[in-house]
Amino acid sequence: MTVNHLIQFMAVAQGCRNREELIAELEKVLSVYGFEYYGVVRTPKPDQNPLSLVLAGRWPEKWPQIYVTKKLILIDPSVRYLAQAHRPFRWSEALPAFKDDPHFKRMQKMMADAYKFGLEEGYIFPIHGRGGILGNMTIGGRPVDLSAIEIMLFDAVAKCAFWRLMELNGEADALNSAPKVDVRLTRRELEILNYLGEGMTSNEMSKLLEISNHTVDWYVNELQDKLSAKNRQHMVGLAIRLGLIH
């Protein structure tokens, strides 16, 4: 059975002495299932080059350069969907979730461009830690239909590969340490934070909560201080990573 290859990977991964050995074992498993392309990556911050956070990967020629140059990570539906995903999902599942997004047409074009490069379909397996979403493993190329048990085992393989690579890089302990931030929020602050996550303006929150715009902005400033955030967008991103909103 092909699932035996997935189980075997998790057994041998712990004995790999370096990242090259581990990557070779992972690529063997992906080859058995027909996945030509893959990436095991850490979740980048908005100002980070995503290529600098790739732990292992193989992509179509020139695609990574196009992805970075055009800043496609900002509109990549699969990456944006990761923020709210608690389970593995297909690439094609992510796009419909953003049908009302102002960047939806750009997302469609990005997916069409990726298809031309041979990235027709694939799966993403989120990696979570105490600080929220830490990274993911994505696998794809030509369409492959995985069974429920195969998806479950690939999810375990993704976590195993991610943490083993981090260990071999000497970064696992630092990454999984909980960030020191004051998250003792009041009920009203949590309400405001959730509404910010839904994209509501101060005026919209003011009407909904029946308080003044000034009061809403006061709560927002308090939240920004507690989360050490640069702006509202940064605040929402931190709140998602800390599990305060979903």
Cα dihedral 118/119/121/124 (nearest 10) = 150
Parent domain of 228: 187-241
- 132 and 154 in a single domain? The answer is yes
- 145 within domain boundaries: yes
Which of 127, 154, 176 is at the close of a domain?
Answer: 176
- 182 within domain boundaries: no
pLDDT surpassing 60 at residue 19: yes
137 vs 181, higher pLDDT: 137
pLDDT surpassing 90 at residue 206: yes
- 181 within domain boundaries: no
- 97 within domain boundaries: yes
Which pLDDT band, with edges at 50, 70 and 90, does 229 fall under?
confident
pLDDT surpassing 70 at residue 182: no
| Structure tokens that stand for 171 in this block | 């970064």
pLDDT surpassing 60 at residue 180: no
Query: Considering only 1-5, 22-26, 96-100, 104-108, which range has the smallest mean pLDDT?
Result: 1-5
Q: Write out pLDDT tens, residues 50-83.
A: 777 899 999 999 999 999 899 898 899 998 888 7
Which pLDDT band, with edges at 50, 70 and 90, does 12 fall under?
very high
Instruction: Give the chain as a DSSP string.
Output: -THHHHHHHHHHHTT--SHHHHHHHHHHHHHHHT--EEEEEEPPPTTS-GGGGEEEEE--TTHHHHHHHTTGGGT-HHHHHHTT-SS-EEHHHHGGGGTTSTTHHHHHHHHHHHHHTT--EEEEEEEEETTEEEEEEEEEES-----HHHHHHHHHHHHHHHHHHHHHTT-HHHHHSPP-------HHHHHHHHHHHTT--HHHHHHHHT--HHHHHHHHHHHHHHHT-SSHHHHHHHHHHTTS--
> What's the CATH number where 202 sits?
1.10.10.10
65 vs 171, higher pLDDT: 65
- 10 and 102 in a single domain? The answer is yes
Which of 143, 176, 209 is at the close of a domain?
Answer: 176
The pLDDT of residue 47: 59
pTM reported for the whole predicted model = 0.71
What's the domain count of the chain?
2
- 206 and 145 in a single domain? The answer is no
- 134 and 171 in a single domain? The answer is yes
- 13 and 59 in a single domain? The answer is yes
- Region 200-215: mean pLDDT is 92
- Region 206-212: mean pLDDT is 92
The mean predicted confidence, pLDDT, of the chain is: 89
- 55 and 141 in a single domain? The answer is yes
- 25 and 103 in a single domain? The answer is yes
- 123 and 38 in a single domain? The answer is yes
